[in-house]
Structure 1
Amino acid sequence: MYDQEKYEEALQQINILIAAHNDSALFYNLRGNIQKMMGNMDEALINFDKAVALQPTNHFYYSTRANYFYDLQKPDECIRDINRAIAYAREDSVKYSDIVRRGTAKAMKRDFQGAYEDFMVGLAFDSTNIAILTATGTVLNDLNRKEEAISYLEKAVLQAPREIAAIGNLGFTHMEAGNYEKAISLFNRVLEIAPEDPFAFNNRGFARYKQHDLEGAMKDIQRSIKLKADNSYAFRNRALVYIARKDMDSACRDLQRAIDLGFSQMYGDEVEQLKSQYCEEK
């Protein structure tokens, strides 16, 4: 029932099981996942905590709770649980996978050097892993090591020429390096593979904005927001286009929307600075 997304029915059944077996960490863990998928995040955490309490040396339950914290964008709590999961991991493949996941959580909290170090540990274990190559290239870009970033991302694309995460991040890195034509060609390639990818539209829109193609930029960013209305970066990008058009009311609405969607936690204070510059209280 859970796998078929029948969460109400799954919850009813797991409640019956827990009533009969209230010492089963597996059942509490499953109920936590069901509650999470239903949006009952407080109830989900209660169940994940119970599973951990019942089996405090089991890798699996720390790992699941770490996923919960990651989804809530709580990287510190996620890293804490991943560290515990690593301590109890019995297989090297699981241990190194957790180290890479920890790197992803470190990147979320903008500890890019720490993330890079974890990804390098992962690559030492599996040097051809596409996801780790892509993550390493992405965090190297965040560290402003553009040439190294491009090198890792090109390796990923060479091994997996239809992997949109690798292609898209390679395009993003070229865009940040000022190679806008190259970036646009890579975002076009993503859209050939995944015609409804909101991030490719958003990034291509920003590249077009940097080329002063405001009409093309707006068209792409609007499409991105229609496909994914909770992407704070798209609202930041559209605000920049509005600023270039001197439509400050629309720009300020988008800047506030980006803030409300958590832009600052993920990417820094750029949007607050733009709002301070262009949106003074009237």
Structure 2
Amino acid sequence: MKEVSLLIIVLLVLKAEAQSSTLAIADSLYALGNYSKAINAYAKVGDSFSNLQIARSYKAIGNFEKAIAQYEAVVNENPQMQIARFELGKLFIKTKGFNEARKLFSKLIATNSQNPEYYYYLGETFRKLEQPASSLVAHKNAVAIDSTHLRSLFQLGKYFTIKQERDNALRYVDAGLRFYAEDVSLINLKALIYYNDGQYEKAIPLFEQVLALGERKEYVYEKLGYSYYKNWDFEKAKETYKTLIAMNDSNSETYFALGEVYRKNKQLDSAAIFINTAMDIKRPIFGQGHSALAGLARERKDLKTALKHYTLAHEQMPKEPRHYFQICTVYDRLAENQGEKLKYYQNFIKLYGKNQPYLSQLVAKRVSELKQQIHFEAD
């Protein structure tokens, strides 16, 4: 009897050693990224951990359907295994199974209400489901548990930035930056908060810091260039827009912006060059280009050229009232016949009067003046 018991113990030890050896091989294959062979090796072990590793391997391969099925099998067999449920919830988000993710993270919170990650990912599922109020609550809960939870702080800052609630946005962004001063996403968001609020002087050093930290994206240069321009730092604006053109020379808006910097800096010939380049790049914005060239002509006191370009701008963009308003004002200065001037202004009211109260008020005042002048001339 003792011999039989001893034999059973020996067999169990050998089996455990074999499983341990197989598991070590499987772990090594997994660590080296040889996921298909790792799956086969883990399948020979067959315990809960190995089954979880199989799910992870399928996910790493990109076979999300099999990964979800394997995770669900693990969760059904081990309902208390939070890590499996957590990873499955994140995979549901990745595969746009937002309702499934919402249910999973809600259950995880019911199991463990002090894990900020669960609230964060619940907030993300609500955000993907376009339920911003619920997302806001979840992210606030994450921050209430962990005041340094950067991703939740970012989402809260972003939410209030979109809502144009500057002070609330800054409160969450600054909380994150106090914990990690070089978080590029938070610095960029703070720059955008000031930029959207028209505080360009405060936005500039933040955009500069974003670039210094390696986030050299086109939109950063575009906003930094405009901030320099609004801050009357024309040389830095020129340099920034030229850097942007070197990155992407097919964006007509950059050339227009650079042309506007030169115009503001009273370098009208250079301004005209960049505006014409912009027009050559993208034909559908000829109207914008002609309007800009008209403005340059007005600054040169060349009213006939200005009238020509405003007329072309109006032809290209007939729904834009300001082009026709400029036609009226330039023609007013060029023409001598008061009756002809009056016709232009009256036509403006006919075309745009109902939808342009401010401009219509200016036009109505000028119409009244012209009618008086015509009346006195007739007398």
TM-score above 0.5, yes or no: yes
Question: Contact between 2:29 and 2:37, CA under 8 Å: does it hold in 1?
Answer: no
Aligned pairs for 1:90-109 (under 5 A) are: 92-94=113-115, 96-109=116-129
2:219 maps to which of 203, 214, 221: 203
Distance 1:110 1:170, change over 3 A: farther
Asked if 1:138 is matched to 2:158, the reply is yes
Q: Report the Cα offset of residue 98 of structure 1.
A: 0.6
Q: Report the Cα offset of residue 243 of structure 1.
A: 9.7
Aligned to 1:15: 40
Distance 1:4 1:47, change over 3 A: closer
User: For the residues of structure 1 that align with 2:120 and 2:239, how far apart are their CA atoms?
Assistant: 40
Question: Contact between 2:177 and 2:186, CA under 8 Å: does it hold in 1?
Answer: yes
Q: Report the Cα offset of residue 116 of structure 1.
A: 1.5
SS at match of 2:114: helix
Question: Contact between 2:188 and 2:206, CA under 8 Å: does it hold in 1?
Answer: yes
Asked if 1:67 is matched to 2:90, the reply is yes
Distance 1:219 1:127, change over 3 A: same
Distance 1:87 1:93, change over 3 A: closer
User: For the residues of structure 1 that align with 2:152 and 2:44, how far apart are their CA atoms?
Assistant: 42
Aligned pairs for 1:137-176 (under 5 A) are: 137-176=157-196
Aligned pairs for 1:1-282 (under 5 A) are: 6-7=32-33, 9-21=34-46, 24-89=47-112, 92-94=113-115, 96-192=116-212, 194-195=213-214, 197=215, 201-208=217-224, 216=240, 219-220=243-244, 245=278, 247-248=281-282
User: For the residues of structure 1 that align with 2:118 and 2:127, how far apart are their CA atoms?
Assistant: 14
Q: Report the Cα offset of residue 66 of structure 1.
A: 1.2
Distance 1:115 1:178, change over 3 A: farther
Instruction: Give the TM-score normalised by structure 1.
Output: 0.65
Q: Which residue identity is paired with 1:12?
A: K
User: For the residues of structure 2 that align with 1:86 and 1:240, how far apart are their CA atoms?
Assistant: 48
SS at match of 2:62: coil
RMSD: 3.6
Structure whose CA Rg is larger? 2
Question: Contact between 1:59 and 1:84, CA under 8 Å: does it hold in 2?
Answer: no
Q: Report the Cα offset of residue 83 of structure 1.
A: 1.4
User: For the residues of structure 1 that align with 2:95 and 2:199, how far apart are their CA atoms?
Assistant: 34
Instruction: Give the TM-score normalised by structure 2.
Output: 0.50
User: For the residues of structure 1 that align with 2:284 and 2:52, how far apart are their CA atoms?
Assistant: 45
SS at match of 1:93: coil
Q: Report the Cα offset of residue 217 of structure 1.
A: 5.4
Deviations 1:10-66 (A, max 9, x none): 431332222341xx4432332222222222222222222222222234322221011
User: For the residues of structure 1 that align with 2:95 and 2:244, how far apart are their CA atoms?
Assistant: 28
Distance 1:99 1:250, change over 3 A: farther
Q: Which residue identity is paired with 2:36?
A: L
User: For the residues of structure 1 that align with 2:93 and 2:199, how far apart are their CA atoms?
Assistant: 33
User: For the residues of structure 2 that align with 1:132 and 1:114, how far apart are their CA atoms?
Assistant: 13
Deviations 1:232-279 (A, max 9, x none): xxxxxx69659984545899xxxxxxxxxxxxxxxxxxxxxxxxxxxx
User: For the residues of structure 1 that align with 2:57 and 2:38, how far apart are their CA atoms?
Assistant: 11
Q: Which residue identity is paired with 1:140?
A: F
Unaligned 5+ runs, structure 2: 1-26, 230-236, 258-277, 286-379
Percent of residue pairs identical: 16
SS at match of 1:162: coil
Deviations 1:88-144 (A, max 9, x none): 33xx532x3311221133233433222221122222223344443333212222333
User: For the residues of structure 1 that align with 2:68 and 2:156, how far apart are their CA atoms?
Assistant: 31
Q: Which residue identity is paired with 2:219?
A: N
